[in-house]
Amino acid sequence: MNALDTFYFAQESDEAEEDSDYDLKAELQLEYDKLDKELRKRRAPVVKPAPEQPFPFMRLPQELREQVYDEYFRPEDRLELYESPDGPSGRYEFEFALLRTSKQIWFEALRSWRKNVFVRIETPWPHAVHHIQAGGQVPIVASGPRADSFNQHTALVQVTAPLHGVTVPDYSIILLLHDLHSFTRVWYYSALNYTNLNTQICLTFTLRDPYYPADPKPVPLSLQRKLLLPFGDVKGLYQTEFEGFADFAIQEVRTAMIVPYPTVQESCERATTLMEEGDLLLATNNPEAALASYINAFDAIHIKILGRSRRVLADGHFSEDIVAGRYAGQAAMTVRVILRISLVARVVHAYLLLSRPEEAAFWGVRSIKLMRHGTSPTSAMEDFFSEFIGSADMACLYAWTAAALTLMEREERYMEEREAYKCEDEQVTDPGALWWKAGAFLGAEKYKGERKRVVEEVRRLGVRVPAGVFEDVDEVDSMVHLDLGAAES
């Protein structure tokens, strides 16, 4: 075989091998297809979900649709709360995407939106807007450019100071009628702080129909009264003007404006009366009503309590002396401090009797910290308060707080809060240290009856006073087994 024959023979052999490989691959592919077909028969069928259908909202009865619209525009659900330096505040963030769904929904939902009544406040001072929004804790609907373009308000209230040449209010905020009382209360406390504030100011009230200005509909008298009456808290104004309001509503608010602000004497005596009423309720085993009376007493001296938050307002109002009544000749600020300490001690006691030791501890620890560290890094200020106010109330504050912390240590649910207290000064949060402080305040012979009362009160709560805190009471307790009457009973 020559070289050429050898070449062709090798080529034929390679082609034969390639044909053999191809046949093998084809056979394998055929077997694979058969196996895959068999597996597909046995495999569970995959059912594709039907496309999600939109909810047939427009098939609902109109009454139900209106309820949906009412919920959509409900102000309480649109209030965005945030923390400001002076406490919680808020702003309404309404959504209007629903109105763009269809023309029919727009017409239907608009009726729900118009159930909200808006008031536009215009003032010449930008810092007043900030004070109302941040420091005043008044939720607002709009301010700045958004307020300037808002025209759906039912009442316009313009604040000017004509004696100072300020006749054009350039800054606006929009409020809900529901929050108008909060706005006027901010003004109320500002006027108590600055007695000459209102004597410079003119208020102009304008009533309008926000939706039919070309053919205005009469505004119900009940709504007019709601728009004006909150301004009864704004007294002693330089001038007031009214446009569009009924004479009855105008006369009603003018009558309220004439009533003067309470004097410091009236504030302090009102707080004292409420405190004494609370004491009677506590003595008749009604701690819940007593607590409410104590909170109202705080309000009488312009300290606002809401849960655990506390705002001390109108400090300037108490900068004068009391000239008559039960506190005649005393500085109003001094009387206010005395009442605050007395009320705190009673609030802590009431929470203990309500089986809420966590609240009792919070109130007690906060007040003791304020006295110890608010003005002095040592206990000197605390000792000053005890003599200045009276050791009995101070001792009770320490005793009830110690009892509250002791009760919290016994229950698992208070562990996290109790651990947080351990990071504080032990002179403020250690029950033993607080008991010894209470004993020091009640050490005088004249407080013997008070010492016994404290021991009996905490014993009923299941808390024992550490030995040696009240020595004379300890001696009586050590001889209790000699009391035949007690033994027989």
For the chain, the average pLDDT equals 84
Is 245 buried (19+), middle (13-18) or exposed (0-12) by CB count in 10 A? buried
Q: Does 474 have pLDDT greater than 70? A: no
For the chain, give the number of residues: 489
| Alpha-carbon torsion (118, 122, 127, 128), positive or negative | negative
Across the range 158-179, mean pLDDT stands at: 92
**Is there a single domain that holds both residue 103 and residue 165?**
yes
Per-residue pLDDT band for 13 (boundaries 50, 70, 90) equals low
Task: Report which residue type is found at 155.
Answer: A
Cα angle, residue 405 at apex, residues 404 and 411 outer, rounded to 5°: 95
List 89's β-bridge partners, or say none: 82
Least confident of 79-88, 172-181, 194-203, 475-484: 475-484
Q: Are residues 230 and 271 in the same domain?
A: no
Provide mean pLDDT across the span 118-133: 87
| Chain-centroid distance, C-alpha 461 | 31
The answer to whether residue 60 sits within a structural domain is: no
Q: Same domain for 117 and 228? A: yes
- The total of structural domains in the chain comes to 3
pLDDT-based confidence at residue 44 (cuts at 50, 70, 90): low
CB 154 within 8 A of CB 216: no
pLDDT, average across residues 268-280: 98
> How far, in Å, CA of 401 to CA of 453, rounded?
16
- Indicate the pairing of strand 171-176 with strand 142-143: antiparallel
Average pLDDT on 357-377 reads 82
154 vs 223: CA distance, rounded Å: 10
Average pLDDT of span 383-395: 66
| DSSP label of 374 | S
Q: In this predicted model, which residue has the larger pLDDT, 130 or 437?
A: 437
Query: Are residues 102 and 198 both part of a single domain?
Result: yes
What confidence tier does 91 reach under pLDDT thresholds 50, 70, 90?
A: confident
End-to-end CA distance of the chain: 136
Per residue in 220-266, pLDDT tens? 999 999 999 999 999 999 999 999 999 999 999 999 999 999 999 99
Residues 303-344: tens digit of each pLDDT: 999 889 888 999 999 999 999 999 999 999 999 999 999 999
Comparison of pLDDT for 13 and 431, the residue scoring more: 431
- What's the token pair of residue 430? 């250690």
Instruction: Determine which of 31-45, 83-97, 139-153, 225-239 has the lowest per-residue pLDDT on average.
Output: 31-45
Residue 236 and residue 342 in one domain: no
Instruction: Supply the range of the domain harboring residue 348.
Output: 262-353
71 versus 84: the higher-pLDDT residue is 71
The answer on 454 and 367 residing in a single domain is yes
Residues 229 and 273 in one domain: no
The mean pLDDT value for 406-419 works out to 88
User: Coil, strand or helix: which one is 244?
Assistant: coil
What average pLDDT score do residues 164-185 get?
Answer: 92
Distance CA 66, CA 89 (A): 30
pLDDT digits (tens, 9 = 90+) for 281-303: 999 999 999 999 999 999 999 99
Residue 5 has pLDDT above 70, yes or no: no
Q: How many CA atoms lie within 13 A of 147 on its CB side?
A: 22
Does any domain span residue 43? no
241 and 334 co-located in one domain = no
Task: Decide if 298 is inside a domain.
Answer: yes
Query: Are residues 81 and 216 both part of a single domain?
Result: yes
Name the one residue in this structure whose structure tokens are 């009214």.
242
User: Is pLDDT at 42 greater than 70 in this prediction?
Assistant: no
Amino acid at 424: E
pTM higher than 0.85? no
Q: How confident is the model over 34-48, as a mean pLDDT?
A: 67
